[in-house]
Chains A and B, each alone.
Chain A
Amino acid sequence: MIEIENLTVVFGDSDNRVTAVDGVSLKVAAGESFGLVGESGSGKSTILRAVAGLADSTGSIVINGQKQGRKRDRNFYSQVQMVFQDPFGSLHPKHTIDRILTEPLVVHDVPDREAKVRAVLDQVQLGPSFRFRYPHQLSGGQRQRIAIARALILRPKIILLDEPTSALDVSIQAEVLNLLDDIRNELGVTYLMVSHDLGVVAHMCRRFAVMRQGKVVEVADSRHLGTGTLEHAYSRQLLVASKGYDRAVIDAFADL
């Protein structure tokens, strides 16, 4: 479904170049949920943006058998959608929920908009009373549901999830992750999910890639997280760190 070959993303001009993604190759099968983990600056979110066409890249990105060029056509966006990290920043502050959800339908000239908006609000368990509110009248979890609804409304095959729950409280995170799980079961969409939380990745994804400084250091099965049988020392360090505070092991942390 998603095939990335030798993807490289460089920011900045000639004096000030930052290679955010450095020759990454990945394959995600249809219906699979694939995780990208790593610390900030590892390039995991940049990969999503490159796939989405929001960042210029070199290398090849093949979506559903179609090689993508620099500019994505409208059809691409009916297949690939994205949910952003910050639910406070990804909804236009001056648009009602109704407008936010209707816009993709207008752009793609889909009929029956009214019914579709109601249906998708139901699907993200918000109900019609939310339809004419503004984003500032919603809580973080509700906003993220709207963002998911917006991503769903065109019935895409792939949803890119950029830390979809990292700005939410754990109890809300659980609800949103369950919702994403339901959507996957119901519609068979493919997820490419970025997270810094190994617990979230272990819960949502079968396979994941560990990234560091723009490169993939390891692609592993998420069962290996539970057993701790990761190959690369950096991945193991991330795993240990995710288990909480242990004074004894911290001095052993190295800048691997």
Chain B
Amino acid sequence: MTDTPVLEVRNLNVRFDTPKGEFHAVKDVNFTMGREKLAIVGESGSGKTQTGRAILGLTQGHITADKMAFHGTNLLDLAPAQWREIRGKRIAMVMQDPKYSLNPVMTIGDQLIEAGKRLLGTDGAHKRALEMLEAVKIRDPKRVFNAWPHELSGGMGQRAMIAMMLMAEPELLIADEPTSALDVTVRLQVLAILDDLVKTRDMGLVFISHDLNLVRTFADRVLIMYGGRVVEELPAKDLMNATHPYTRGLLACAPEVDRPTKRLATLTRDPAWAQSPGGTR
């Protein structure tokens, strides 16, 4: 970790107007991250995705925060033109399903060039596109460069997506369940690419996931969210020693191959978890 934090978030709230009244999706979320792999874990509806989207201002809801600083720049004060300089260039995002994120009527190569054109010029972007396809461990970058999205498997598509996000050398990558749609072995290979990128390019990674086991072995630090709140924050290696009953409950109810049980533990939810801010700063 280095001196200035890559991202500092203070009291982030996201609210939605719904026909049934206001829905408070993210409640008073705080975190600071450097060039590391920060995981945000939770079940569906926990607010993890909305937190990730709020960083890029990509939510339909109303965002309020005391501070949301990216390398000291408060993202909340940015004009649209300034946002364009950051979104997709300095902060990039990878979504869950490459099928919906890649443009179906453009070849992979054209999409990569499009992403890097303004920064590098067409020739530079062309060269860099091939480099990036290689960087994400695609064996035949030339073929994939000329391929259409529908010709790629899920794993290949997601790698191409990551390559596209890396065209502009972002300093922060937000990955929302980037590997959930992939098979286990491919999933780990894609994670290895992200891991290497964090190490070699000094990038920060926000990794949003529902998979505690994966997060425990992959991330550096973990935020556990429940009902819009961060209920616990701890280093990934200490996850097994989590103290919050929700985290402990989640860990206990997943069946594991080397820990056979006659009956799975179930989670008894305590409404108080979503009420009071828990965990540590």
Measured between alpha carbons, how far is A175 from B184 in the docked complex, in Å? 24
Contact of B255 among A200, A238, A246 (CB under 8 A): A200
Interface residue? B20 (CB, 8 A): no
Which of chain A's residues has its CB closest to B253's CB?
A: A174
Measured between alpha carbons, how far is A246 from B192 in the docked complex, in Å? 9
The interface residues of chain A lying within 8 Å CB-to-CB of B267 are 171, 174
B264 x A177 contact (CB < 8 A) = yes
B217 x A181 contact (CB < 8 A) = no
- Given A244-B214, A245-B217: A171 in contact with B256 (beta carbons within 8 A): no
The interface residues of chain B lying within 8 Å CB-to-CB of A132 are none
Interface residue? A178 (CB, 8 A): yes
B213 x A244 contact (CB < 8 A) = yes
Measured between alpha carbons, how far is A225 from B257 in the docked complex, in Å? 6
Q: Interface centre among A140, A171, A243, by most B CB within 10 Å? A: A171
Interface residue? B228 (CB, 8 A): no
The interface residues of chain A lying within 8 Å CB-to-CB of B187 are 241
- Given A171-B253, A199-B256: A241 in contact with B184 (beta carbons within 8 A): yes
Measured between alpha carbons, how far is A199 from B257 in the docked complex, in Å? 5
- Given A171-B253, A174-B265: A203 in contact with B260 (beta carbons within 8 A): yes
Interface residue? B169 (CB, 8 A): no
B264 x A202 contact (CB < 8 A) = no
- Given A40-B183, A177-B255, A246-B217: A170 in contact with B212 (beta carbons within 8 A): yes
A244 x B258 contact (CB < 8 A) = no
The interface residues of chain A lying within 8 Å CB-to-CB of B218 are 244-245
Residues 17-43 of A, flagged 1 when their CB comes within 8 A of B and 0 if not, give 000000000000000000000011000
Measured between alpha carbons, how far is A73 from B188 in the docked complex, in Å? 45
Interface residue? A216 (CB, 8 A): no
Measured between alpha carbons, how far is A27 from B93 in the docked complex, in Å? 47
Interface residue? A126 (CB, 8 A): no
Which of chain B's residues has its CB closest to A39's CB?
A: B183
B43 x A171 contact (CB < 8 A) = yes
The interface residues of chain A lying within 8 Å CB-to-CB of B195 are 245, 247
Which of chain B's residues has its CB closest to A204's CB?
A: B255
A174 x B213 contact (CB < 8 A) = no
The interface residues of chain B lying within 8 Å CB-to-CB of A40 are 154, 183
B188 x A241 contact (CB < 8 A) = yes
Interface residue? B135 (CB, 8 A): no
Which of chain A's residues has its CB closest to B265's CB?
A: A174
Interface size of A in residues (CB-CB distance below 8 Å): 36
Interface residue? A90 (CB, 8 A): no
- Given A171-B250, A171-B253, A239-B257: A203 in contact with B264 (beta carbons within 8 A): yes
Contact of B253 among A173, A202, A226 (CB under 8 A): A173
Which of chain A's residues has its CB closest to B191's CB?
A: A245
The interface residues of chain B lying within 8 Å CB-to-CB of A170 are 43, 210, 212, 250, 253-254
The interface residues of chain B lying within 8 Å CB-to-CB of A196 are 183-184
- Given A170-B250, A178-B263, A245-B218: A238 in contact with B257 (beta carbons within 8 A): no
Measured between alpha carbons, how far is A40 from B250 in the docked complex, in Å? 26
Which of chain A's residues has its CB closest to B256's CB?
A: A199
Interface residue? A109 (CB, 8 A): no
The interface residues of chain A lying within 8 Å CB-to-CB of B200 are none
The interface residues of chain A lying within 8 Å CB-to-CB of B82 are none
Interface residue? B5 (CB, 8 A): no
Interface residues in A144-196 by Cβ distance below 8 A to B read: 169-175, 177-178, 181, 196
The interface residues of chain B lying within 8 Å CB-to-CB of A239 are 257
Which of chain A's residues has its CB closest to B184's CB?
A: A241
B266 x A202 contact (CB < 8 A) = no
Interface residue? A198 (CB, 8 A): yes
Q: Interface centre among A174, A181, A251, A253, by most B CB within 10 Å? A: A174
17 sampled A-B residue pairs with Cβ under 8 A: A39-B185, A40-B154, A169-B44, A171-B266, A173-B253, A173-B254, A174-B253, A174-B267, A178-B266, A196-B184, A202-B257, A203-B261, A226-B258, A245-B188, A245-B217, A247-B192, A253-B189
> Other than the known A200-B255, A253-B189, what 15 A-B pairs have Cβ atoms closer than 8 Å?
A40-B154, A169-B43, A170-B250, A172-B43, A198-B257, A199-B254, A199-B256, A203-B264, A241-B185, A243-B217, A245-B188, A245-B217, A247-B192, A250-B189, A250-B192
